[in-house]
Every structure is written in C-alpha cells, then in structure tokens.
C-alpha cells in the first residue's frame, strides 16, 4: 500500500482524475442547463459521439486540434437545436426521444467513420498547458496545473455557470421556466425560447465533451464514450442540479476510476479481482446518488412539455 | 398548433421514406448459384485493426485465393448489441448462406439456438472451442498465448527499466490467453509486468488512462489487446514507449514504436472448413490457429530497428513452442 503514497503515484492519480472528470463535467453541466429549464435530454451520449467524430475528422484532415474542438462544439450546437425541435416544438416524450438521439448519434458517427476515415489513425492531441508559478506547488502543482487546456476550460465553466444561473436575468428565466413555466409565460418570459437556448448550450457542451475525449486520447473508436454520457446525466441528479454539485460528482467518479487504474498498475489489485474493482466507480456513484437524491428535489416542470393555455 | 401538426406530418413522411430507402439499399446481391456464400457477424468495426478486422481479412484472403467468383462475402459488423447480432445471424441463415460465422465469444448462446433452427446451414463460432454437440456448428480459436509468450520475451529484452505494462479488455477468451502468455514470457526473462484489464472492449478513455498510469509508473514497453487499445497506442506513441500488437498488424498506427504484432491468419483453418462444408460435413470441428500451422504469425515492423539478439531469442522461442520444447506456461 505504501507504493500508492509515493509522489509519483499521487500525482498520476490526481492528474488522471481530472482528465477523467473533464468530459463528465462538460456533458453534465450542459445537461444541467436543460434540466433546470425543465427538459430531460437522454441523448447526451449521441451528441458526444457525433461531436467527437467531427472533431476527430477535422483534426485529422486539417491537422489542428483546436479547429477540431470548434467543429465539435458547432456540431453539438446543431444537435442541441434539433433537440429543441423534438422536445419543445414537437413536444415529444423526452425520455424516448432522448434515446432516439443517442441511437442516431451512435449509428451516424460509426457510419461516417467507416465511410470517411476507415482504419483508426492517431491524431495529435490538444497540447498540454503548464501554468507558470502554480505548477511549482509541491505535488498538487504537477498534477493539476499541467493539464490540456480543455480540462481548465471545463472547470472554469463551473463558477461561470454559477454566475449565469444565479446572477443573470437569463439564469432567472431558466429557473423560472423549470419550476413553473405557466407563471413565467404569464410574465412575458418565452418558455420555448429559453428551453431552446438551454438545449443548445447543452448540445454545445456535450459536443465539447465528445471532442474533449477524442482530442485528448488522440483517436476515435466506435462507441468510444462507453456510457459516459449517461453517467453525466446521473451526475446532474447527484449534483442536485447545481454546478458545484455536478463538479463534485464528476470529480468523485473520475477519482475512483483513476484510483482503481493506479491500484491495478501498482499490482495491488490482482487480475482475478479486477472485474470487481472495475465496478467500483459506477457502484459508488449510484450509492452517492441514492443518498443525495433523498434530500433534493428536481425542477418541478422537468420532462413536462409546455403548451400555452393547457 | 397547426404549424406543429404540419411539421409532425412532414417528419413522419420523411422518416418513413428514410426507412424504405435504408431497407432497399442493402449490400447483398442475389449472386450466382455457384458461389460459396459466407456471412460474417462481428461485434466491432471490420477495420478496427484488431479483432473484427482479423476475420474479415481472413475471409477476404480466402476469396482472393479461391477466386472472386467462387466466394461471396457479406459482413455485418459493429453488432455489439446481441439482439442485433441475433437478427443478423438468423437473417443470413434464412437467406441460405453456406457458412454463417459468429465472430465473437459473446455470440455463443445465440448461435446454439439459431443453429438448431437451421440444421442445413453451417455455422462457425469464434473465438471458442464449444460446438454444442451440434453437427452443423464448428468452433475456432487462437492459441494467442504462443505469440504472446514470444512477444513477452522480446519485450523483456527491449525494456531498459524492466517495467512493462499491459492494457487488456476483459479477462476472457483470446485476450486472456494472450496476456497470460505475454506475462509468462516477460517474467521468465526477469521483467516486472503490470496488467490492467479495464473491463470494456470499447472504452478508449480508460484504455488511455491505463496506459498513462503504466507510463507514469516507469513502463517503457507496453502491449494490449482488443479494439479500444488504439488509445493506449496513442499514449505509447506520445511517450516513446515501445508497443507489441496482436490480432492484426498495428504498425500502421504508430510506425516508430510498434516492434511487432501477432497477426491472426484465420484463413489457415477456415479454408479447410470451407472445403469440408462443400464436401458435405457441415460442422463438428474445433479448429485452432497457432504458430505451428502458420495461423499465428509474428509480423515484424520493418520501420523499427530490432536488435539481432532479440530477433534471435524470438525465433528460438517460436521454434521451441512449435516443437514442444518450450511451454507458454498457460
């Protein structure tokens, strides 16, 4: 066990936890906006997959990871708008339509990859950015302040989201529409427009999450998200629909995954027990979810489409 | 309200058209009656540089050898959802294909049921060694531990730090065999090998993190198996860590650091299966590719400058395994 407490191991674990938390945080924050305004989007994973593919392809062809990120964000934005059409204008059942978006994203991203790219090829990932001064802090500095820029961006979105939700009119509108859309409507807030905007933000961030994964692993693979989009949705519940909560959830999940990985590398978990250990992140998150959800209530209008006068 | 109804109608019509177009745009032609028709159902992409690619490459090689008119191929890949795979297997059997291959250990239960419903169709299950006592089912497997052992020996000799990392999917089938053989080969030569089964065949993120952890721990040689391993190869490439591949030739991924790959040549045993099906024996065989029959080949990456003593040790290990004087320990 002492091997785990060496500086190398601690730095490796903390750094890995932040990297693993990044896509969960991005996708989770995006989903949080939508759910705060009353729309459940189960298609996060599909948007991540599509955003990830287009980010990968752009980075591959143009040899520029930043352009890839931009394209991934734009694709996510478009998918968010599509979600708006489905959930807000067409008022579809949000649970089912979300799964439809997931399957669409999974199939299309795989089809496009097969037809356009073919065999997996590696791309140059986003560069690591070392923050001067801060990176010299013992232990923590090396783990936290030598990440790729998208990790910093993801965490900076947390205080930004807190400010947007709590200190701006837009944030007030979001919360009002999510709790009592009829009342908000009667006061002149456009429920539809607010929900479209939160869904587009959600799509943007989900596309960014998928792009973040491909631009840090440097590759694309069918179904590369492996369920992380759904974990992100669960983290919104875990985080009680608050940015800090979503961040804590992402960090919890990322940290447990990083810890299990490190323990396996140090040969502290024998191969025979690895199946069990691999369940740990999901198990712990579910347990935490059960405990937390006893105490917080979801936005009152969540999953209910709004029709004026009815 | 009216505008919503209008949009809804449009969406429904469009969806219906898309479905019809999709149904019509299928790959399988009627084909001429003389061709031997082979269908493959695989769980990942047919160009994944790993598992599924190996079977598609093999059947394509058989087609090249026997002639494009003699062999007709249909592939349904990416079917990691079992319900979809079951539908595909059944569909091919109903279409009267001569050989239906379920290339995935997870397809066992499906095949055992479907094969019973179609006693006149030949089925093959890989990688496995169970034919369910059904006369129309054959099974094929790879002695992946053999190439694993050889590569483990090479890895140990090439590692300066003595620290080697393995990134695996789930501890089953040929993944398990390969890893065990590799670990035995490397530890026999004195290296320390850390094994991480990430618990998934597709989670590239976890595979990348597993590789990162190995590298942070001082590993300078790594190996891995299954399609998510592309992420681990990326980490190896960025950190100048050597890589040993398996299932397909992975040199094209990262030319400067891939030393060799254990390539599966399923055609070595499957062409014999095709012949026996043509002769009327639909199944009952358990086939294995190994170093001795040439079904497993260590393909060296020409771009990597392998020291002569390492190559010699590898050749000796191959010879020793073939003539039985060396054991892979599994």
B211 touches chain A (CB under 8 A): no
| Same domain? B125 vs B221 | no
- Whether B139 maps to a domain, the answer reads yes
Across B230-252, average pLDDT: 91
| Same domain? B163 vs B103 | no
- Whether B27 maps to a domain, the answer reads no
CATH of residue B68? 3.40.50.2300
**Average pLDDT of every residue of chain B:** 89
Q: Which of residues 144-183 of A touch B (CB under 8 A)?
A: none
Nearest CA to CA, how far is B129 from chain A (Å)? Answer: 22
Phi-psi region of B297 (alpha: psi -120 to 50; beta: other; left: phi over 0): beta
- SS3 state of residue A125: coil
| Same domain? B127 vs B201 | no
Among the partner-chain residues A90, A258, A265, the one whose CB lies closest to the CB of B217 is A265
pLDDT at B25: 43
| Same domain? B149 vs B103 | no
**Average pLDDT of every residue of chain A:** 91
Domain that holds residue B91: 34-143+266-289
Chains A, B: CB pairs < 8 Å = 140
pLDDT at B20: 62
A221 touches chain B (CB under 8 A): yes
User: Which of B44, B168, B196 best tests the A interface by mutation, with the highest count of A CBs <10 A?
Assistant: B196
pLDDT at A139 over 90: no
Residue A246 has a CB neighbour count (10 Å cut-off) of 29
B227 touches chain A (CB under 8 A): yes
Beta bridge partners of B99: B38, B122
Q: How many domains does chain B have?
A: 2
Across B56-62, average pLDDT: 92
Among the partner-chain residues B47, B165, B231, the one whose CB lies closest to the CB of A219 is B231
- The side-by-side arrangement of strands in the sheet containing B258-264 is B192-197, B163-168, B221-224, B242-247, B258-264, B296-300
Across A130-148, average pLDDT: 85
Rounded CA separation B223/B244 (Å):
5
Among the partner-chain residues B179, B212, B252, the one whose CB lies closest to the CB of A16 is B212
pLDDT at B7: 75
| Same domain? B127 vs B42 | yes
Nearest one of A226, A199, A198, A195 to A210, comparing CA atoms = A226
Across A166-192, average pLDDT: 93
- Whether B29 maps to a domain, the answer reads no
Q: What backbone torsions phi and psi does residue B172 show, to the nearest 5 degrees?
A: -140, 165
Among the partner-chain residues B49, B210, B230, the one whose CB lies closest to the CB of A261 is B210
User: What are the residue ranges of helices labelled H in chain B?
Assistant: 2-24, 51-66, 82-94, 108-117, 144-158, 173-188, 204-216, 230-238, 267-278, 308-323
Rounded CA separation B186/B195 (Å):
12
Question: Which residue is associated with the tokens 């040969």?
Answer: A267
Chain A contact set for B216 (CB, 8 A): 8-9, 11-12, 265
| Same domain? B70 vs B185 | no
A274 touches chain B (CB under 8 A): yes
Helix (H) or strand (E) holding B138: strand B137-142
Sign of CA dihedral B39, B42, B45, B49: negative
- Whether B26 maps to a domain, the answer reads no
| Same domain? B126 vs B39 | yes
Query: What string of DSSP letters covers A296-308?
Result: -PPPTTTT----T
| Same domain? B163 vs B310 | yes
A76 touches chain B (CB under 8 A): no
Chain A residue with the nearest C-alpha to that of B218: A8
Per mean pLDDT, which range of A120-129, B87-96, B160-169 is the poorest?
A120-129
Q: Which tens digits make up the pLDDT trace of A235-264?
A: 999 899 999 999 999 999 999 999 999 999
- Whether B328 maps to a domain, the answer reads no
Q: Which tens digits make up the pLDDT trace of B104-131?
A: 888 989 999 999 999 999 999 988 888 8
Chain B contact set for A120 (CB, 8 A): 47-49, 230, 253
Q: Which of residues 258-317 of B touch A (CB under 8 A)?
A: none
Chain B contact set for A19 (CB, 8 A): 209, 212
Rounded CA separation A180/A92 (Å):
19
- Whether B16 maps to a domain, the answer reads no
Question: Which residue is associated with the tokens 């930004």?
Answer: A160
Q: What backbone torsions phi and psi does residue B194 show, to the nearest 5 degrees?
A: -100, 125
User: Which of B19, B181, B201, B203 best tests the A interface by mutation, with the highest count of A CBs <10 A?
Assistant: B203
ipTM of the complex model: 0.90
| Same domain? B153 vs B112 | no
pLDDT at A295 over 70: yes
User: Which of B217, B219, B235 best tests the A interface by mutation, with the highest count of A CBs <10 A?
Assistant: B217
Phi-psi region of B307 (alpha: psi -120 to 50; beta: other; left: phi over 0): beta
**Pairwise CB contact (< 8 Å): B203 & A226:** yes
Question: Which residue is associated with the tokens 């040549």?
Answer: B265
pLDDT at B206: 94
Chain A contact set for B196 (CB, 8 A): 261, 264-265, 274
Query: How much of chain A, in percent, has pLDDT values that exceed 70?
Result: 98
- The side-by-side arrangement of strands in the sheet containing B71-76 is B71-76, B36-41, B99-103, B122-126, B137-142, B286-289
B230 touches chain A (CB under 8 A): yes
Chain A contact set for B78 (CB, 8 A): 110, 222
A308 touches chain B (CB under 8 A): no
pLDDT at B6: 76
Per mean pLDDT, which range of A279-288, B20-29, B247-256 is the poorest?
B20-29
- Whether B85 maps to a domain, the answer reads yes
- pLDDT bin (cut points 50, 70, 90) of residue A289 is confident
**Pairwise CB contact (< 8 Å): A113 & B45:** yes
**Pairwise CB contact (< 8 Å): A274 & B202:** no
Q: Which tens digits make up the pLDDT trace of B11-50?
A: 777 777 766 655 544 444 444 457 899 999 998 878 777 7
Phi-psi region of B199 (alpha: psi -120 to 50; beta: other; left: phi over 0): left
Nearest CA to CA, how far is A83 from chain B (Å)? Answer: 14
- pLDDT bin (cut points 50, 70, 90) of residue B10 is confident
| Same domain? B240 vs B109 | no
| Same domain? B48 vs B165 | no
Query: How much of chain B, in percent, has pLDDT values that exceed 90?
Result: 64
| Same domain? B168 vs B103 | no
Token duo for residue A252: 């919890």
- pLDDT bin (cut points 50, 70, 90) of residue B3 is low
pTM of the model: 0.87
Domain ranges (residues) in chain A: 20-226
Chain A contact set for B186 (CB, 8 A): none
Sign of CA dihedral B34, B284, B226, A98: positive
**Pairwise CB contact (< 8 Å): A119 & B238:** no
Rounded CA separation A229/A187 (Å):
35
Nearest CA to CA, how far is A199 from chain B (Å)? Answer: 19
pLDDT at B1: 52
């Amino acid at each position: 066990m002492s091997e785990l407490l060496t500086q190398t191991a601690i730095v490796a674990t903390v750094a890995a936890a932040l990297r693993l938390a990044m896509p969960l945080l991005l996708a989770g924050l995006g989903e949080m906006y939508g759910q705060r305004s009353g729309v459940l989007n189960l298609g996060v994973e599909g948007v991540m997959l599509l955003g990830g593919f287009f980010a990968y392809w752009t980075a591959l062809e143009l040899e520029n990871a930043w352009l890839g990120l931009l394209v991934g964000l734009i694709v996510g934005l478009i998918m968010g708008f599509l979600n708006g059409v489905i959930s807000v204008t067409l008022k579809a059942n949000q649970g089912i339509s979300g799964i439809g978006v997931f399957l669409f994203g999974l199939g299309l991203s795989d089809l496009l990859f097969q037809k356009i790219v073919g065999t997996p090829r590696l791309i140059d990932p986003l560069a690591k950015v070392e923050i001067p001064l801060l990176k010299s802090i013992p232990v923590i500095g090396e783990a936290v302040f030598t990440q790729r820029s998208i990790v910093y961006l993801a965490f900076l979105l947390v205080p930004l989201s807190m400010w947007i939700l709590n200190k701006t009119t837009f944030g007030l509108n979001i919360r009002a529409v999510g709790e009592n859309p009829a009342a908000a409507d009667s006061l002149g807030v456009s429920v539809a427009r607010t929900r479209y905007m939160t869904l587009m933000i959600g799509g943007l961030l989900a596309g960014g999450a998928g792009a973040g994964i491909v631009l840090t692993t440097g590759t694309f693979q069918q179904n590369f998200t492996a369920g992380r989009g759904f974990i992100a949705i669960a983290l919104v519940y875990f985080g009680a629909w608050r940015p800090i909560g979503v961040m804590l959830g992402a960090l919890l999940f990322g940290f447990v995954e990083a810890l299990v990985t490190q323990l396996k590398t140090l040969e502290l978990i024998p191969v025979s027990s690895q199946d069990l250990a691999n369940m740990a992140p999901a198990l712990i998150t579910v347990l935490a979810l059960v405990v937390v959800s006893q105490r917080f209530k979801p936005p009152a209008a969540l999953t209910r489409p709004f029709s004026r006068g009815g | 309200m009216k505008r919503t109804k209008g949009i809804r109608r449009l969406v429904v019509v469009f969806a219906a058209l898309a479905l019809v177009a999709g149904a019509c745009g299928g790959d399988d032609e009627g084909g001429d009656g003389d061709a031997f028709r082979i269908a493959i159902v695989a769980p990942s992409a047919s160009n994944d540089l790993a598992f599924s690619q190996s079977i598609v490459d093999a059947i394509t090689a058989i087609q090249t050898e026997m002639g494009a008119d003699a062999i007709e191929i249909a592939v349904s890949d990416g079917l990691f959802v079992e319900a979809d795979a079951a539908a595909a297997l059944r569909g091919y059997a109903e279409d009267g294909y001569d050989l239906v291959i379920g290339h995935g250990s997870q397809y066992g239960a499906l095949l055992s049921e479907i094969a019973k419903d179609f006693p006149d169709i030949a089925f093959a299950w890989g990688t496995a060694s169970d034919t369910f006592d059904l006369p129309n089912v054959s099974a094929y497997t790879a002695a992946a531990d053999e190439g694993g052992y050889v590569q483990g020996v090479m890895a140990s000799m090439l590692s300066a730090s003595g620290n080697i990392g393995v990134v695996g999917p789930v501890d089953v089938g040929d993944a398990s065999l390969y890893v065990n053989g590799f670990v035995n080969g490397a530890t026999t030569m004195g290296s320390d090998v850390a094994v991480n089964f990430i618990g998934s065949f597709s989670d590239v993120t976890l595979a990348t993190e597993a590789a990162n952890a190995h590298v942070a721990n001082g590993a300078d040689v790594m190996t891995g198996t299954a399609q998510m391993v592309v992420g681990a190869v990326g980490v190896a490439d960025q950190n100048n860590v050597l890589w040993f591949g398996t299932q397909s030739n992975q040199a094209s991924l990262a030319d400067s650091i891939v030393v060799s790959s254990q390539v599966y040549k399923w055609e070595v045993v499957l062409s014999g299966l095709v012949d026996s099906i043509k002769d009327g024996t639909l199944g009952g065989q358990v086939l294995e590719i190994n170093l001795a029959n040439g079904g497993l080949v260590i393909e060296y990456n020409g771009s990597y400058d392998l020291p002569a003593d390492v190559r010699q040790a590898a050749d000796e290990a191959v010879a020793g395994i073939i003539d039985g004087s060396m054991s892979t320990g599994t």
